[in-house]
Structure formats: C-alpha cells, structure tokens
Amino acid sequence: MGRFSEAVLKYSPKFDLADLNSSQRDAVRQIYGPVLILAGAGTGKTRTVISRVAHMIDTGILPSHILAVTFTNKAANEMRERISSIVKKDQAKEITVCTFHSLCVRILRQGIDRIGYKKNFTIYTGSDQVGLVRKLIARKSAKDESLDHNLALSLIGRSKNKGVAVSEMNDSLISEIEKAYNAELKILNALDFDDLLLFAVKLLNDHEDLRSVWRDKFQFITVDEFQDTNGQQMKLIQSLVGKDQNICVVGDDDQSIYGWRGAEITNILDFERFFNEPKIIKLEQNYRSTQAILHTANSVICHNSGRREKKLWSENVANENVRIIAMADEDAESQLVVDEILEMTATEKRKYEDFAVLFRTNSQSRLFETKLREYKIPYRVIGGQSFFDRREIKDLIAYLTIIKNPDDDINLLRVINNPPRGIGAASIEIATEQSRDLGVSLSEVLQSEEYQKKLPQRSRSSVKKFIDMLEDYRSPMMASRSGFGSLFSQLVDEIDFVDYLGRTCKTDTEREQRKLNVADFLTSLRDYDSSGRKNGLQGFLDDIALQQDREDDDDGPGVNLITLHAAKGLEFPVVYLVGLEEGVLPHKRSLEEGTKEEERRLLYVGMTRAMARLTMSFCSIRVRYGEEVYCERSSFLDEMDPQYVDVFSNDELSSGPVEENDAMAYFARMKEMLEED
C-alpha cells in the first residue's frame, strides 16, 4: 500500500488549481474552443499556460495532440522544462513545444516536394541572404550603384509577409532583384525564414490531405506572445486549427512593440473576427511590480485608443514612488545612475545584476558603458554578435552546408578558396558566369568537363582536388546518423583551417579567441552527433539556422544595458529608464509615421520591467554629431498620474539628506575602488 501511494505521488501532476488566482483558474479550465488570454506584464502567464497543458493531460487529452508555439528557442526551452517539472517525463516528451519557424520546417520536410523543392532544402539565414542579394545587386550595379542590400532585403521580406510583390511598389530595379533572388533560391534549393512560413501556409492550404494530417496531430494549439504574430503566422494558425477550434492564444496588446518587423496588432485586437465566439480571460493581477509602478504605467498606456481594456494591479506595497529626474545633460544622467548603483550595492547589498538601464536606441549605451568602465563596474550589453555569426564559425557552417547540399552556391563561394587553395578569382568568375548562363548550380559547373577545359592545369587540379575532398566526406557524413562530428574535425585538420585563421589575426588575443571558437564549435558538433538525435547533420544545421530567431542571452554578471525592445520578457529589481525626450522616446520617426501608440507601448514595456524601483530621466541638453542640442521632455511624462510620482531636478536629488550609516557604507565602497587602482 505504501509503495502504491508513493507511485501515485510520483506521477501525479505537480500543480494545484488552488495555487492559482481565480482568473488563472478560469484560463486553465477553459480547454475547448477558442480562448484569448489577455496576460498583462508579470501576471503569471507562463505558469498559467503550463498549468493549462498539465490540466489537459489530467483530463485525458493525449500529450501528442498538444502543440505549444513560441517565438524564440529560449522561450520554447523554458516552457518545455517547466512542463517537464509538472507532468510525467514520457508525457512531456510527446508534447510539441517549438517556434513558428521550427514548426514550419517540420511541415515542409514532409511535403515540400509537392511544391517543387527537394526535402533536403537549405535554410538561408540573414548573412546568407545578404551574400545572395549583394551578388545580385553587383550584376546590376551599372543601373544603380547606390542600391542598399538591407533595403532590398527589407522590401523582399515585407512583400512575402504581406503577399504584395515589390513590383507593385513601382520600383523596377528592386523588383528585378526580388525576382532574381527568389529564382536563385529555387535553383539553390534554399528557403529564407520568410519562405518557411509562406511555403508552409501554401502547402497546408493547397493540399487538404496534408492539412488533415497536421490537424489530426495537433488538436489542441497554444500560441504564446500572440500580439507579436504577423499575417503569415496568423494564416498558419488558421490552417492548423481544426473544426473544433481548440486554439488558445496568450498575449498582451499593450506589449505589442514589433510593428516595425511585421507584427500585426489587429490579430489580437480582432481575434473574434478569426475565430467564433472566443472565451476572453484577463490576467490582471501582477506579481512582479509594486502598485506605484503599475498605477503609473497604467496611467500612460490608457492614452492608447487601439487597445483592449485592462488594468494591472498588485498586492505589493510600494516602498517608494516612481521618480522622474530632470538632468542638465547626458553626462549628469549617466553619473547619477552610476552613483546610485554604487550606493545601493554598498548600503543595500544589491548585486550588479539587479540593475538595468533601459534606452530607446543602441547609441545611448555608449556614455553608460564609459562611465561604468571608469568606476570598474561590470556590465553587459544585452545583444551583440551571436557565436554562430562569427566569421570563422560561419566558414565552418558553410563547409557543412555544402556537404549536405552541394547546390548551395552562396556557401560554396564562401569556402571555395577559404583557406586559399589555388582557385583564383578568374576561375571563380568563369564558373559563376557559366552557372548563370546554364541555370545550374556552381557545383555542377565545377564538375563539368566544359568548365575544366577553360582552366589552366594548376587551377584545374585545385578545383578537382576541392571537389573530390568534399565528395570524400559527403558520402560517409550523410550516410549515417552518427560519426559526422569526428569526420568533420578531420576535414578541418586536413585544410589547416586553424593555422590559416592564425595567420589572418592581428593580435595574439584574437588568434587565441578564434582558435577557441573553432574548438567550441567542433565540440558542439560532436556532442550533437553523440546525442543520438534522429536527423544527423541535417538536424544539426536546421537547429543552427533556427537559432537565428532566438533572443541573445548573456548570463554573465553585471549591470544590464539594454534597449527597450530587447527588454521585453525580462525583469529587474531596479530600473533606470533614460532619455525620455521628444524625438528619442517617442522616437522622431514615430512622430513622422504616426506610430506614437507603439512608442507608448514601448515605454509601458520598459516601466513594467521594474520590480521595486523605477527611475525615469530626461536631459535638457544632449550632444549630437558633436553639437549641443536642447531637448524637450517627453510628452509621455505629462500623461502620468502624479499620485505615485516624485519629480526632482538632479541638483535637488543630490542635495537631499543621506542617512549616516548609508553615507559611511558608500564612502567605504569608494575607498575600496580607489585602492584597486
């Protein structure tokens, strides 16, 4: 009996509805039909979602019929881990938790051959796209040498998401680039991230049998951060939702801040238009912030006209009001932040990680970085270059990609003479021209007798040696699901890649770092290889490509410097929201384009990152392009209810009384820093 009881305890769901508030319980119990959960900042959204999944399983729904879609790999991993903590491990494994892009890859790997692609298609990341577009622009440089590749890619991406061809925008050159870009992707058997969504939707809409297969598999669908979905993502959701409409979306229209990258707030505002008579549940009790912070944030966001009514509240009693500080200039602003960080770490024993400085644009971080360095305070800028975007890593990924897909011209061009192997620019140009004229891949050209006859003997030998090397590794690496990691390490040694890197580095530090990066990559490849995952090299490359949509994550200690866009989903005990001036926040561009409401939502997101203390500041003078310019305080500040707000000038703040014990601790900390010098 005792043993039986132990087993029951072991496998029972580790959640209790009684631990949830009434709104959360309503959301958990509402399993069938369309559901819209309006989850305000800090209201326990993730806890509610995973409890709902656990409740589904507890009521008898098969885990394999449950799909949870997120926007980032980080969010997917977190949800997966938290689900695993409250349901049986074997059940958790059967639940599909993934990003939109990875879901599309699953769908396309099974059926893309129906729309004219091979199932071993390559996923083109941002840098791959840049390389291809640059190549296409170079061909047409005589027409317009000033065409920016970023603009071209932006318009192409927008056209795919909106379903409106660039040609309809009356720009003939970009239209030509768009057509050539899509045509080359087809030849290369490659898809960009926009294509993943576009083709998955097309596949499901055009093939009823496939649509039925996926609807049968995913009978209960949950979409996280629904306010950030774009038009194609909404179409994908509609294609997957069956006649029972067991769809639950979770989001907050007040936190919709990605309109600039295609997010359509109307998806959440007009949810009733897409699904019949949805149940709408509001999560308004906040567990993160004080009532002072929430009241002030509510007083700002209520000025938006396009929103669903909600009002966050908290049982957390405010120890202090929200502060608004008028600064003389940006140097005074950064100095105040540093001074208060030093004071609070000394007097309140706070960690540097407790602090976040939030700003509208990346350029605003420079002064804070300089000041923090001056005082030897560790910090981290959230963002920066991804590991997989580093030059040497992209070179290795390119080798793996062409081993997997020999028709990938962009990656072939990246490595054909990297490291140098005697295949010069003239030989490559001949191959490129022939590839374009014949409409075939570079790989096919390189292996053709017609091409090789055009080359000098030495170049011909180098090309043949390169092609033979790739073929020697391709067969064993693609033949089995394991062993490719060790084989690729052999290839890296064979081409003396690390030695070549060393010769291209300017300093010993750079040389060591790049060498370490290569070693780390090879280790990750071997680890993936030995993990026994089903899809072998294909799966490894898919995972890397899909990492492009993950949020940058830096777990090192230090004060957090972060843009408002990157701050979404994070929380910090102490937040400084700097640069609240007209033209900065709201941004000048929003005033010109009529997107001020999104800027207000951006401010709201920033304010609701704060748990205990929130300070907002603006400057009278800033230096721009070497010139002092006078600034006007943000109009958003005038919208704030003053009930929980204290307004200071910097002089007033610095002249305020200081407790004796706090003063002693502060000066002791300063003494330590001076002694470190």
Q: Using CA atoms, how far apart are residues 339 and 349, in angstroms rounded to an integer?
A: 15
What would the mean pLDDT of 657-675 be, rounded to a whole number?
56
Using the predicted structure, report yes or no on whether residue 663 has a pLDDT greater than 80.
no
What is the C-alpha separation between 374 and 366, in angstroms, rounded?
A: 12
Q: How confident is the model at residue 104 (pLDDT cuts 50, 70, 90)?
A: very high
The sheet carrying 220-223 orders its strands as: 96-99, 66-70, 220-223, 247-251, 35-39, 279-283
pLDDT computed for residue 153 by the predictor: 84
What would the mean pLDDT of 36-43 be, rounded to a whole number? 96
Residue 25 has pLDDT above 60, yes or no: yes
The residue among 294, 179, 287, 194 whose CA lies nearest residue 235 is 194
Distance CA 347, CA 267 (A): 47
Q: What is the pTM of this model?
A: 0.76
In this prediction, residues 284-309 reach a mean pLDDT of 95
Cβ contact 191:117 at 8 Å:
yes
Q: How confident is the model at residue 478 (pLDDT cuts 50, 70, 90)?
A: confident
Over residues 166-189, the mean pLDDT reads: 80
CA distance 236 to 199: 10
Mean pLDDT over the full length of the chain: 86
Peptide bond into 586 cis (omega under 30): yes
Q: Which residues 6+ apart lie within 8 Å of 658 measured at CB?
A: 666
Q: Is pLDDT of 5 > 70?
A: no
* Helices 484-494 and 457-479, axial angle in degrees (round to 10): 160
Answer whether residue 350 shows pLDDT above 70: yes
Q: Return the pLDDT at 661.
A: 65
**pLDDT value at residue 671:** 55
**Counting every residue, how long is the chain?**
677
Give the model confidence (pLDDT) of 217-234 as tens digits: 999 999 999 999 999 999
CA angle, 549 as apex, 356 and 477 as ends, to 5°?
130
pLDDT of 169 over the 70 cut: no
Distance, CA of 408 to CA of 435 (rounded, Å): 12
Q: What is the 3-state secondary structure (H, E, C) of 191-242?
A: EEHHHHHHHHHHHHHHCHHHHHHHHHHCCEEEECCHHHCCHHHHHHHHHHCC
Distance of CA 265 to the CA centre of its chain: 18
Indicate the pairing of strand 379-381 with strand 559-563: parallel
Q: What pLDDT is attached to residue 553?
A: 44
Which three-class secondary structure state does DSSP give residue 278? coil
For residue range 600-638, list pLDDT tens digits in order.
Answer: 999 999 999 999 999 999 999 987 755 688 999 999 999
At a CB cut-off of 8 Å and minimum separation 6, what does 114 contact? 203, 206, 207, 210
Is it the case that residue 531 has pLDDT exceeding 80?
A: no
Residue that wins the pLDDT comparison between 573 and 473: 573
* Res 625: pLDDT: 59
Range in 10-19, 95-104, 258-267, 377-386 with the lowest mean pLDDT: 10-19
Instruction: Give the residue numbers marked as catalytic.
Output: 45-46, 224-225, 255, 609
Query: Does position 151 have pLDDT exceeding 80, yes or no?
Result: no
| pLDDT tens sequence across 357-402 | 999 987 788 788 888 988 889 988 885 445 677 789 899 999 999 9
Q: Is the dihedral of CA 632, 261, 80, 278 positive or negative?
A: positive
Distance CA 382, CA 39 (A): 25
Q: Which residues contact 508 (CB under 8 A, 6 or more apart)?
A: none
Distance CA 581, CA 294 (A): 21
Greater pLDDT, 195 or 529: 195
Q: Looking at residues 337-345, what average pLDDT do you find?
A: 96
21 or 156, which is more confident:
21
Across residues 68-83, what is the average pLDDT? 92
Q: What is the reported pLDDT for 171? A: 60
pLDDT level of residue 57 (50, 70, 90 thresholds):
very high
What does the pLDDT read at residue 15? Answer: 65
Calculate mean pLDDT across residues 241-253. Answer: 95
DSSP string, 316-357: S--SS-EEEEEEEEHHHHHHHHHHHHHHHHHHS---GGGEEE
Question: Percentage of residues in the chain with pLDDT exceeding 90?
Answer: 53
Mean pLDDT within 192-207 = 94
Report the pLDDT value the prediction gives residue 533, as an integer from 0 to 100.
65
For residue 654, is pLDDT > 90?
no
Is the pLDDT assigned to residue 145 strictly greater than 80?
no
